[in-house]
Every structure is written in C-alpha cells, then in structure tokens.
Chains A and B, each alone.
Chain A
Amino acid sequence: MTRILADDVATATPAPRASAPARRRLSVPHLLLIPAILILLVGMGYPLVWQIITSTQDFGIQQQFGKPADFVGLQNYITLATDPTMWQVVGRSLLFCFVTAALTLVVGLLLAMLMTAVGRTARLTLQISLLLAWAMPVVAAMTVWIWLFDRRRGVVNYLLDMIPGVDMNRFSWLSNPLTFFIVASIIVIWMSVPFVAFSVYAGLTQVSDEVLEAAQLDGANGAKRLRYIIMPMIRPVIMIVLLLQLIWDLRVFTQITMLQDAGSKASEFDLLGTYIYKLGAGAQDFGMASAVSIFVLALTLAISWFYVRSLLKEDEQS
C-alpha cells in the first residue's frame, strides 16, 4: 500500500542541490526521525553507555564526591559472579518470574476457555470484572492488596480463619520470605491474568466453528479437539503472551518495593530490581549497581529477542 512511496525519496525529489552530497543524504524521512532519535539518545542511549562504562569502574561513595573512578575491567562482574547474595537474588528472581508467568498463563488460558464455554451474561460479567482489575494502577492495587493481607484486620486472614481447623488469626504474610513471595505472586497474577485471558480469548474466537464441527463429525472428542485443533491454532498467541509475561515478571520493582514498605526490607526479600536500587541509592556503589543493571538488561533482551523478531516480521509484511 506504500507503493508510490516505496521508491527512495532521493529519486522522488530530484535534488538540484549538487553542492553537498552529505546534505542530500539527509532526506525527508531522516529529518522526521531526528526528534525521536534525539530523545532516545538522551533518555536511553546516554544512560546506557554511561552504565556500560561505569560497570567497568570502581565507582563508589568516594567517586560521588569527585574522586576520579578507576578502570577495573571486569572486576565488578567477577565480584558479582562470586557473591553468594547475588546468586540468591538472581535465583529468586528467575524462580519468581518463571513460576508467576507460568501460573498466569495457565489461569489465563483456563479463564479464556471458560469464556467460550458459558453464555453471554456470564461471559460479560467475567470480562468486566477482569477489565476492572486490569485497569487498576499498580500502586493503588498494591495498597489494596496490602490491606487485604493485613495481619490483624485483613479480609484474607479473616476468611481463612473461618475454615474449620485453620488458624490464620494474625498470620503475618509479609514477614517470612516464602509467604512474602506467595503474596507477591498472587498480586502479580491477579494483575496480569486479564491481559492473557483477553488475548487468548481473542485467539480462540478465530478458531472456526466449521473446522471444529468437521472434527467432531470425524469422531474427535473434546480433549482431542483441544489438543489437535485449538492448541496448534492459538500457539502463536500463547508464545507471545508467555514471552511478555516473563519480561514483565522480571520487572516487579514497584510491587516488591511496596510490599517491603509494609513488611521487611531485609535482603531475603529482594529481587533484582530492589537489589539494584539498594546498591545504587542505598550503598551508593554505582559500579556494582551498573554491573547488575547490565545483567538485567542482557537477561531481558535474551528473553525478548523472539518477540522482537516476530514484530520485525510483521513490519516487513506491511
């Protein structure tokens, strides 16, 4: 559809200015890109380069007061690689990310299938409820969940305590790392399931009834139709949703910070985001904080590569 514009602009504008070849190269589309490129260079590019350089320097509290930073090569990375705390944080972050993303995907899939299996009223009710949860700003959602899990007057403890034989009165969810991360995971799942459910549901509605009916006539039961027809057809959606979920569940700084505000700030409650924050803003060790940041960026890019590639393909098709 961009047929007329597909040819190079240089030929479209028969540049009479033969004087400066460099100038001719800066054509209309390049000019249009300048503001976006400038803001990206300032807001993202420069910090990124600074961070890469700083991660190879000994940049601690003395450097904050003007002492020149010494180049230490990969020393910061070596220190990190040999630091058991760092490995614990990395392991915990990855475990949290994978478990939460997997559960989100499973719950989202089940809800999407439920939407297709029930009548209009039930489906709309479910969809509106999911939409409201999805729309909640993260910080507001966090305050509500912290209130729900409040030790003494939270509804969660109240309801659990009503189950016979369960004593959850004044159970402090946020003071033990395991229950702390269970709560974090529940909250993140609550926030992210709506996106998964709606995306998968949109994919499911694309599966044609004719094909399903044909399969039914050929003797495929429900489980077989799901496995051999529906699943292969919605596989691309599921892959992309899972990738995005993995990426998003690595960046849960806001959620963890707010839970730490209400609970404990001890290091057993840290994931990568809060760990970097404490290294940088707390200990003022920018060299180490930069090295961990680079690690997080590399990890994110590794996971998102497939997503970026699929978007690139879409761009080429248009």
Chain B
Amino acid sequence: MTTSVTIPTGGELGATASAIPVARVRTRTRWSRRFRPRRVVLTVLAFAIAIAWVFPVYWMLNSSLLPNRTLQSFIPTFLPIGGSLDNYENVLDGGSFFSALGISLSVTLIAVFCCLLFAFLAAVAISRFRFKGRKAFVLAVLIVQMLPAEGLFIAQYKMVSSVGLLNSVIGVSIIYTAAVVPFTVWMLRGFVAGIPADLEEAAMVDGLSRTQAFMRITFPLLAPGLVASGVFAFLQAWNEFTVALVLLPAEQMHTLPLWLRGFIQASATRETDWGQVMAASTLVAVPVIVFFLIVQGRMTSGLVSGAVKG
C-alpha cells in the first residue's frame, strides 16, 4: 500500500508537538544586523509561501461553508462571510457518509489491531533475540515495505475474489494488515531496542521469569511506541485508495476515500455542487489531520533516521 509506506503511501507520516523540530534560534546577531534588508525580504517570502501552501486547505474550508449559489459565481468569494453549515447537513443527510464511515472504521480497526499485534511480536523477536533467519526476515520486511500497491493489486484482486471475499471487510483488512505490518515492525523495532534489556535483566535477577520481566517492565515502557505505530497504521489504512478501489467495487461497501471520489466522478455527468464536495472533503480530512499532527515528528525521524544520526 502506500505503504507503504507504503504506506509510506501515500502515503506517509509521524509524533507530538515536539514534531515541529524545535529549531536552534541562535541568530547570528552581527550577521543579521548587517543584512537587515535581506532578512526582511526572506521573512516576507516565508509568510507568502506559508499562505500559498496552506491555501488549498483554507479553500476547502471556505468553499465548504458557502452556498452553491455563491460558488457558481465567476468571481470567487475569498471569505466565508454569510456562510453556513448547510453543505455539511446535506452531505450527512444522504446517509451514505455514515455507511462509508462504518466500513472505513471496521476495515481500519481490524487492520490496526492485527497489525499492531503481529508487528509487536515480530519486533520483539528481531530486537531482543539473535537467531537463525533473523537477517532474512529483516530484509524481507524492508523489501515488502517498498512494494507498491500498483504492482500487486491485480493479483490481490484475483486472490480475494477467488475465495469469495470481494466486497467484504475481511478481504481488504487482510491486504491492509499485510501492507502495513512491515513498516510497523520496523518502527516498533526501534522502540523495543530503545528500552535497555538491562532493565529486564535486573528484574530477572529479582526473581521474575523472562516473560514476566518483559510484560511488567518493558511492555509499559512501550506504550508510546505502540500508540505512535498504531496511529501510523491507522492513517495508512484510513487513507488507502488503490486496494479499496479494486477490492470493494460495490457502492454500499465503499470506504470514505472511495465515497469522496464518487463526488468527482459524478461531476463528469452533471454540474458539481462544489460546496458539498468540499464539505465532504473536510469531513474526511479533519480527523486525519488531527491524528497526523500527533505522530508527525516521529514520521520524519523514522524515515530518515539512518541518515540524520548525528
């Protein structure tokens, strides 16, 4: 999947407020005093780029609040003055949103649960043990993580349909779990390895068995790692489009991304109600944005950790 990364697919993600790398603000005063005009230009440029970059997100919110009549005008309305939540009401009234939400939730929750469980066990194995075949497994995980959905979805379609799981939550969940497990294993491996085995050792000296030591000492310390990995897996599965498109052709089985795409598809044949489309997009985007901000920093460092180690 975008999993790839696929999920770095699309996909793509990670941590807390610390996310925004707290920059070194040690300005070289002498330097800045000498080149004052240059700094002003750069600051203005930074604000201009910030506005341009966030504009599509703003435009989504703005359009979602405006009535279709206003949007039909050839002169865009840049502020949602006189706006209302009518578009949201209309979108929610159809009921198709809640159906898609239900499908998305079931697929995602199953995938996240299985993924976390399987990946946790595997991460413990590769970071706490040295064994025959370990390297082969790590290599397999890293390679599978790179495989694009585009290169496998025909085969996955054939497999899932041959066992009668087309248009079923189970079929998609299996594929999602498999697609997200590799990155989750990799991410959790880092967390498990970050907890010193000495702690367990000490507990074992005090009389706990190895399993007890792991469950009572290491496991609680892993909670933040499990949350971060879980959120990551959630985002991957929640935003996934390609596999869902192939495995869930029936409209009543559409996940939220497919449901949202339906609005654009319909626009080919009839006039698009952009207010509603933008309200629908906002409904899909807001929970994702919130989750994303939670894990963002970890995402950056996770993907390039090999390189930035200072």
Contact assessment for B179 and A119 in the assembled complex, using a CB-CB cutoff below 8 Å = no
Known: A39-B114, A48-B152. A236 touches B307 (CB 8 A): yes
Known: A129-B53, A237-B308. A312 touches B42 (CB 8 A): no
Q: Is the C-beta of A115 less than 8 angstroms from some C-beta in chain B?
A: yes
Q: Is the C-beta of A62 less than 8 angstroms from some C-beta in chain B?
A: no
How far, in whole Å, are A60 and B83 apart by their CA atoms in the complex? 53
Contact assessment for B150 and A140 in the assembled complex, using a CB-CB cutoff below 8 Å = no
Contact assessment for A44 and B152 in the assembled complex, using a CB-CB cutoff below 8 Å = yes
How far, in whole Å, are A314 and B289 apart by their CA atoms in the complex? 30
Contact assessment for B21 and A126 in the assembled complex, using a CB-CB cutoff below 8 Å = no
Known: A117-B39, A132-B57. A29 touches B134 (CB 8 A): yes
Q: Which of A28, A44, A286 has the most CB of B within 10 A?
A: A44
* A254 partner residues in chain B, CB cutoff 8 A: 10, 241-242, 257
> Which chain A residue lies CB-closest to B287?
A137
Contact assessment for A203 and B308 in the assembled complex, using a CB-CB cutoff below 8 Å = yes
Shortest beta-carbon distance from A5 to chain B in Å: 5
Which one of B43, B124, B141, B300 contacts A119 once the chains associate, using CB atoms below 8 Å? Answer: B43
* B92 partner residues in chain A, CB cutoff 8 A: none
Known: A140-B284, A297-B148. A36 touches B9 (CB 8 A): no
Q: Is the C-beta of A178 less than 8 angstroms from some C-beta in chain B?
A: no
Which one of B114, B242, B267 contacts A253 once the chains associate, using CB atoms below 8 Å? Answer: B242
Known: A40-B144, A117-B42, A132-B54. A206 touches B304 (CB 8 A): no
Per the CB 8 Å criterion, the residue count for chain B at the interface is 132
Which one of A111, A118, A134, A293 contacts B154 once the chains associate, using CB atoms below 8 Å? Answer: A293
* A39 partner residues in chain B, CB cutoff 8 A: 114, 118, 174, 177-178, 181
* A124 partner residues in chain B, CB cutoff 8 A: 20
Shortest beta-carbon distance from B62 to chain A in Å: 10
How far, in whole Å, are A30 and B24 apart by their CA atoms in the complex? 45
Within 8 A of A (CB), among B122-157: 122, 124-134, 137-144, 146-157
* A248 partner residues in chain B, CB cutoff 8 A: 8-12
How far, in whole Å, are A156 and B192 apart by their CA atoms in the complex? 48
Which one of B76, B130, B147, B197 contacts A158 once the chains associate, using CB atoms below 8 Å? Answer: B76
Which one of B8, B151, B277, B307 contacts A147 once the chains associate, using CB atoms below 8 Å? Answer: B277
How far, in whole Å, are A47 and B157 apart by their CA atoms in the complex? 9
* A33 partner residues in chain B, CB cutoff 8 A: 121-122, 125-126, 137
Shortest beta-carbon distance from A232 to chain B in Å: 13
> Which chain A residue lies CB-closest to B53?
A129
How far, in whole Å, are A50 and B59 apart by their CA atoms in the complex? 45
Contact assessment for B146 and A300 in the assembled complex, using a CB-CB cutoff below 8 Å = yes
Known: A147-B274, A248-B8, A300-B146. A286 touches B125 (CB 8 A): no
Q: Is the C-beta of A75 less than 8 angstroms from some C-beta in chain B?
A: no
How far, in whole Å, are A147 and B282 apart by their CA atoms in the complex? 14
* A144 partner residues in chain B, CB cutoff 8 A: 56-57, 59-60, 278, 281
Within 8 A of B (CB), among A20-37: 25, 27-30, 32-33, 35-37
> Which chain A residue lies CB-closest to B242?
A253
How far, in whole Å, are A291 and B45 apart by their CA atoms in the complex? 48
Contact assessment for A36 and B265 in the assembled complex, using a CB-CB cutoff below 8 Å = no
How far, in whole Å, are A193 and B56 apart by their CA atoms in the complex? 15
Q: Is the C-beta of B215 less than 8 angstroms from some C-beta in chain A?
A: no
Q: A51-B152, A202-B308 are in contact. List 18 more A-B contacts (CB 8 A).
A: A2-B129, A4-B201, A39-B178, A39-B181, A114-B45, A123-B46, A137-B288, A143-B260, A148-B56, A199-B304, A236-B308, A251-B6, A262-B268, A273-B242, A290-B154, A307-B146, A313-B306, A314-B305
